Structure 1
Amino acid sequence: MSTLFDEAKIGGLGLANRIVLSPMTRNRADRDGVPTDLMATYYAQRAGAGLIVTEGTQPSAIGQGYVTTPGLHTDAQVAGWRKVTDAVHAEGGRIFIQIMHTGRIGHSSLHGGEPQVAPSPVLAEGQTFTYEGLVDNETPRELTTAEVEQTVAEFVEAARNAIRAGADGVELHGANGYLIQQFLASGSNQRTDKYGGSVANRIRFAVEVATEVAKAIGPERVGLRISPANTFNGISETETEELYPALLREIAPLGLAYLHIVESAGREFTRTLRAQWSGTVILSPNNDGAPTGREHGEQAIADGACDLVAFGRQFLANPDLPARFRAGADLNEADPATFYGGDHRGYTDYPALAV
């Protein structure tokens, strides 16, 4: 039976272990979306992961939903990411950049007054943090059919830019209520064109993004993250048990590097999806709100639910998490006050084990 410490492969890429740094928004890019030297330090500190999946990275200016998040649509952003990937590779790590278009999540003030875009003009209740502070969310503008197709092209260009920046691959963020899941979910997708209505139509955008990105950079360099039944960011799904198997049937033949499941619908449904997916599965386990620990990861692998396990808050606070797990060492506690934005405090100053 495999353990967290066994070697693994995704696509043709060898991994030192089955421990994945989960993508986590940390808001340490500059205001132009350029990754900083501090980000390079942060990711290099965590290069002991079998695979690093970075924070969500917008493929276009309109795809930005939060302050000081990185992008992949300008030369300066590509150069910034090159510093990050070089730093990770120098430490022997592997790194995929997550491409995240936030869709209706965000605010017009983040991009010159132009409203957020979405499958349909359906408001996500709540507030968004901007450079001026917390503001109420706005009703997004509905993408035209032609604009949906252009958005697919933006994902493709961002993926090419990720490879140009030295990344080993990209993860397409189809989870947590962002644009891809907004198309999947009937609550946020009320379209009447080929991208809305039936399950077959609602999965179309996700399938097109995965297909075109795989064509552009190679399927072995592409992962997809999903979160069935997740209600984060006001998502309301119907037909979940039909929707996600239909999506996997369409994308399985592409031969993607992996499927990353955020376990929102329970272990039984995870097993259902796992049985349908012949390739590698990364799992972010559902631990009833508790941070994922070594025991959760080992159980998920033992259950046959996945091949690799993603760790978030534990990895945030423990840059040497694989070494701590292996040694059975105590773990640093994460400080929620420093999760988003700020400087090195609560970011690159968590101590590693004494050597």
Structure 2
Amino acid sequence: MGPLTRGRATRDHVLTPLMAEYHAQRASAGLIISESTGISRQGLGMPFAPCLWSEEQVEGWKQVTAAVHGAGGRIFSQLWHRGRLVNPDFVVGAQPVSASVTTAPDHAHTYNGEKPYAQARALRIDELPGLIQDYRLAARYAIDAGFDGVQVHDANGYLINQFLRDGSNHRRNEYSGRVGNRIRLLREVTEAVVAEVGAGRTAVRLSPNGAIQGVDDSDPETLFVAAAACMGSMGLAFLALREPEPHGTFGTSNVAPVAPGIRKVFTGPLVLNSGYEAPRAQAALDDGRADAIAFGRAFRANPDHPHRIQDHLALTEGNVATWYKQGPKGYVDYARAPG
């Protein structure tokens, strides 16, 4: 089960019993990747999002991981920093941070409605060790909370992705310019997480596609193949790729698929994600393009999604209006199929 933002935590970003029920209902996925989980106050910018920077949040997550394990599943925590996609409302008026001085397009969702994104400032070199430490500490908190592992979120236009792509990284130092430099922050964060919790408990998520949330790259094939090769040298648990077809959740992907090139250089388990239905997923496994497929949106309204695939049963259509609302409606009230 791929990561799915649901917005059911408290305003203090603490998990609730309702969230434990939701995840336990979907434990037949085998492995659940948690919804994006903030590593720090600086990186948080989504209402009612869960986080992992305090003991109270660790205690909240313990009820979720225990429920998933009790139902026979496994769960990884996805570690997240939104970078320039953080509205100042979430950080007591502070300016958001990014690779460079840029402004994201569109609007941020806040507790006070939609607001334009603010211009981000460039993170200083001397701030990066603290950022890396935030990832390391969040990874430790995740294991303390009972997670089976963690996934570093380097996809969909968030902070590490903003460093990775030349459309948002205009720096003039060792974290910019050539591909090897732009990969550096991803490498350093992942190395820190591996050092803290072990390579076998560490995964990474990439989105080797065209422009996403205003972040683009002039040569995604070269960039993401190099990033995957770097990740492959660490012996990770798996590498997950979100690579949408031409009409994906975050708009269109106007570049050729990069996954085939990544498959050649990343020899560990490779997980593909975005818009898969059962026949196409099975074909990707059969011809060796992937070792697993992560399903996302289908799990929202089908807690028994694996059973429905196995028995060729119809999927329930989800109610988009309830995806990010609080409360049980459209969250834990979807029925399982008979049988």
TM bracket, shorter-chain basis: over 0.9
| Structure 2 Cα separation of the partners of residues 252 and 311 of structure 1 | 23
| Structure 2 Cα separation of the partners of residues 135 and 251 of structure 1 | 36
Q: Percent of aligned pairs with the same residue?
A: 40
Aligned to 1:159: 139
**What secondary structure does 1:62 align onto?**
coil
Aligned to 1:288: none
Is 1:301–1:308's contact at 8 Å kept on the other side of the alignment?
Answer: yes
Of the candidates 61, 86, 111, which is equivalent to residue 81 of structure 1?
Answer: 61
Aligned to 1:334: 318
Aligned to 1:276: 265
C-alpha displacement of 1:102: 0.6
Aligned to 1:72: 52
**Matching of residues 195-210 of structure 1 within 5 Å:** 195-210=175-190
Query: 229-238 vs 121-130, which deviates more?
Result: 229-238
Determine whether 1:309 maps to 2:312: no
Is 2:221–2:261's contact at 8 Å kept on the other side of the alignment?
Answer: no
| Structure 1 Cα separation of the partners of residues 276 and 318 of structure 2 | 13
C-alpha displacement of 1:239: 2.0
C-alpha displacement of 1:303: 2.8
Of the candidates 88, 98, 108, which is equivalent to residue 128 of structure 1?
Answer: 108
C-alpha displacement of 1:341: 2.2
| Structure 1 Cα separation of the partners of residues 196 and 158 of structure 2 | 23
Question: What letter is aligned with 2:268?
Answer: G
Of the candidates 161, 181, 203, which is equivalent to residue 181 of structure 1?
Answer: 161
**Matching of residues 165-314 of structure 1 within 5 Å:** 165-264=145-244, 268-285=257-274, 291-314=275-298
Aligned to 2:120: 140
Q: Deviations over 1:79-112 (max 9, x none)?
A: 1111100000000100001001111002010121
Is 1:173–1:224's contact at 8 Å kept on the other side of the alignment?
Answer: yes
C-alpha displacement of 1:354: 2.8
| Structure 2 Cα separation of the partners of residues 267 and 23 of structure 1 | 24
| Structure 2 Cα separation of the partners of residues 31 and 174 of structure 1 | 25
| Structure 1 Cα separation of the partners of residues 178 and 258 of structure 2 | 21
Aligned to 2:250: none
Is 2:4–2:34's contact at 8 Å kept on the other side of the alignment?
Answer: yes
Is 2:84–2:119's contact at 8 Å kept on the other side of the alignment?
Answer: yes
C-alpha displacement of 1:249: 2.5
C-alpha displacement of 1:116: 1.4
**Matching of residues 44-55 of structure 1 within 5 Å:** 44-55=24-35
Q: Structure 2: which 5+ runs fail to align?
A: 245-252
Aligned to 1:354: 338
C-alpha displacement of 1:267: 7.3
Question: What letter is aligned with 2:316?
Answer: N
**RMSD, aligned α-carbons:** 1.3
Aligned to 1:9: none
| Structure 2 Cα separation of the partners of residues 250 and 87 of structure 1 | 35
Question: What letter is aligned with 1:26?
Answer: R
C-alpha displacement of 1:168: 0.1
Determine whether 1:28 maps to 2:18: no
Output the TM-score relative to the length of structure 1.
0.90
**What secondary structure does 2:187 align onto?**
helix
| Structure 2 Cα separation of the partners of residues 245 and 136 of structure 1 | 34
Aligned to 2:306: 322
Question: What letter is aligned with 2:277?
Answer: G
Q: 1:349 to 1:105 in 2, by over 3 A?
A: same
